[in-house]
């Protein structure tokens, strides 16, 4: 009996008891998709050897997409920070919230040779922590984290390419995580058929579905050498 009570207590502790956030509009979801879209566009320009001016313009478009979604991002990070900490040896949601804010705040450091290396590491570490936390918590509790992953991973992809690293590992990781979000949320979320709003827990599912073909197209077009970053140098 004591074991059953303890198990029940642990289950409740892992659940998110906060009131469900309001649904997201299609426009809000499109803002998050827009960040990935502009990031992928920048990577395509770098990979195609586009002139430096074109690469710079595509980077500005990505920064503008991030700025347009800052209100949403603040809400997402607050939601993450209020999530359950599952105890020793687990990822603290406050750390995921803080690293997401930090990466977003410092993203234009990608233009600086000095700031770029630490930003690459920060984006990598944050994306890993976010994905581990997403795997550990119930799907409904991980909704905000999944949305954050839809922002962090495209930034991490751009950061790696700007730093001259091989695109293949980071692109494969991004695609893998995107598929994990779809698989995790699919049982509760189905493809939207009309309507102007989506349940909060399904917003990341919609983002991941929208990004999936863009990532597949990028994988088909991109070389797998680190030389893709030469266009912006």
pLDDT in tens, 67-113: 999 999 999 999 999 988 888 788 999 999 999 999 999 999 999 99
pLDDT of residue 87: 83
- Please tell me the pTM assigned to this model: 0.85
Answer yes or no: are the C-beta atoms of 144 and 76 closer than 8 Å.
Answer: yes
- The answer to whether the Cα torsion of 67, 68, 70, 76 is positive or negative is negative
Over residues 35-69, the pLDDT tens digits come to: 999 999 999 999 899 999 999 999 999 999 999 99
pLDDT of residue 8: 40
Would you say residue 181 lies in a domain?
yes
CA distance 190 to 28: 18
Mean pLDDT of 182-195: 80
Domain count, the chain: 1
Closest CA to 55 of 64, 47, 45: 45
What confidence tier does 229 reach under pLDDT thresholds 50, 70, 90? very low
Would you say residue 168 lies in a domain?
yes
Domain interval for residue 94: 21-228
Mean pLDDT of 163-186: 94
User: Is it the case that residue 180 has pLDDT exceeding 80?
Assistant: yes
Would you say residue 79 lies in a domain?
yes
Would you say residue 86 lies in a domain?
yes
Would you say residue 162 lies in a domain?
yes
pLDDT of residue 43: 96
pLDDT of residue 17: 61
Would you say residue 1 lies in a domain?
no
Mean pLDDT of 152-163: 96
Would you say residue 222 lies in a domain?
yes
Would you say residue 8 lies in a domain?
no
DSSP 92-155: -HHHHHHHHHHHHHTGGGGG-TTTHHHHHHHHHHHHHHHHHHHHHS-TTTTHHHHHHHHHHHHH
């Amino acid at each position: 009996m004591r074991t059953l009570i303890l198990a029940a207590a642990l289950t409740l502790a892992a659940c998110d008891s906060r009131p469900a956030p309001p649904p997201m509009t299609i426009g809000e979801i499109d803002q998050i998709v827009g960040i990935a879209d502009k990031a992928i566009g920048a990577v395509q320009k770098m990979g195609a050897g586009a002139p430096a001016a074109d690469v710079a313009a595509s980077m500005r478009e990505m920064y503008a997409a991030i700025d347009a979604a800052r209100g949403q991002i603040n809400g997402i990070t607050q939601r993450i920070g209020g999530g359950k900490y599952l105890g020793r040896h687990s990822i603290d949601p406050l750390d995921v919230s803080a690293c997401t804010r930090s990466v977003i705040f410092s993203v234009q450091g990608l233009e600086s040779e000095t700031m770029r290396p630490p930003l690459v590491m920060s984006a990598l570490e944050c994306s890993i922590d976010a994905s581990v936390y997403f795997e550990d918590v119930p799907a409904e509790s991980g909704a905000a984290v999944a949305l954050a992953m839809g922002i962090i991973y495209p930034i991490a992809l751009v950061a790696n390419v700007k730093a001259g690293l091989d695109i293949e590992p980071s692109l494969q990781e991004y695609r893998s995580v995107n598929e994990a979000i779809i698989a995790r949320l699919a049982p509760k979320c189905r493809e939207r058929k009309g309507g102007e709003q989506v349940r909060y827990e399904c917003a990341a599912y919609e983002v991941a579905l929208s990004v999936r073909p863009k990532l597949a197209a990028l994988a088909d077009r991109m070389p797998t050498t680190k030389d893709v970053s030469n266009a912006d140098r």
